[in-house]
Amino acid sequence: MSARIDIKKASVSYFLRKTGISKNATEQGAVGAQILVAKHYLEVTALRDISLSLKDGDRVGLIGINGSGKSTLLKLCAGALTAQKGTVDIEGRVSPQFSLGSGIKADLSGRRNAELKCLYMGVPQRNVPQYVEEVKELSELGGYFELPIKSYSAGMRSRLVMSFLRLVRGDILIMDEWINVADPTLNSTAGALQSRLIDRSKILVLASHSRRVLEDWVSTLVWLDKGRIKAQGPIEDVYAEYQAWMNSRKKV
């Protein structure tokens, strides 16, 4: 079965109560989104009239300053968000890697969290015990795997999240930044797992601020600014244009 993402003129907005903090952020240009200021609220347009078509073999990177719409577009591509305007059609099983660390329950053991994550990631019930044991082995938590996560150090928690990469399955891989764990000795393991996932995927959509990561894994860049696609094309051309724009902003 082929994989496909077809987004046509999609728009997504969020409505926020007007506060002193949000007002200051708007005035100082700290938010990269387009913002409509009303009397009692702010309408933050995360995406506006976005059109993007992806097919088998596409490796696409998203760049843009914080608040430009990257995370919202990732969620749209993953089917985790509904566009208020426009259409989004997705064919193929989606693996949203940005959700790996979400939903972890500190009062539950590493094992129980792994079981719940298996179900969330679509692992068939009959395969859950096998996958949980693989998560345990990969995390190298030993006896701590049976203890509540609230007893873990930051490094141990990172090891558990990294091991959830083993559960990622699907044709369309959605990644919000490259995972780097707190323990530097495990970065090579996490990198190897992510590399394998990318190689197996039919479509990759990766948001990152790292030029090296983008050059390693994508061939096309989509530059987002204020919820719109500002440029799209070969990575060398778009990144050079983006970097020049960033440099000009620093001079202002």
- Residue at which a domain ends, from 163, 182, 201: 201
Q: Helices 128-139 and 154-163 meet at what angle, rounded to 10?
A: 140
Q: What is the pLDDT of residues 7-25, one digit of tens each?
A: 999 999 987 776 654 555 5
- The CATH number that applies at residue 64 is 3.40.50.300
Residues 87 and 212 placed together within one structural domain of the fold: yes
Q: What is the pLDDT of residue 152?
A: 96
Structure tokens at 201: 């995927």
| 3-class DSSP state of 74 | helix
8-state DSSP, 131: H
The total domain count for the chain is 2
Q: Is the pLDDT of residue 27 over 50?
A: no
How far does Cα 239 stand from its chain's mean position?
Answer: 19
Return the pLDDT at 99.
64
Q: Which domain holds residue 146?
A: 97-201
Q: How many separate helices (H) and strands (E) can be counted in the chain? A: 8, 10
21 and 70 fall within a common domain: yes
Show the tokens assigned to 194.
């992510």
Are 38 and 13 part of one and the same domain?
yes
Helix axis angle for 154-163 and 187-200, nearest 10°, is 20
Q: Which residues contact 25 (CB under 8 A, 6 or more apart)?
A: 31
Q: How far apart are CA 163 and CA 221, in angstroms?
A: 29
Task: Report the alpha-carbon distance of residue 132 to residue 113 in Å, rounded.
Answer: 9
User: pLDDT digits over 67-81, tens only?
Assistant: 899 999 999 999 989
> What's the pLDDT band for 29 if we cut at 50, 70, 90?
very low
Is 170 in contact with 205 (CB distance < 8 Å)? no
More confident residue, 165 or 70: 70
Query: 102 and 196 share a domain?
Result: yes
CA distance 205 to 198: 10
DSSP readout, 75-102? HHHHTSS--SEEEEEEES-EEEGGGTTT
24 & 113 share domain: no
pLDDT of 54: 98
Q: How far apart are CA 88 and CA 192, in angstroms?
A: 32
Query: Tens of pLDDT along 200-240?
Result: 999 999 999 889 989 999 999 999 999 999 999 999 999 99
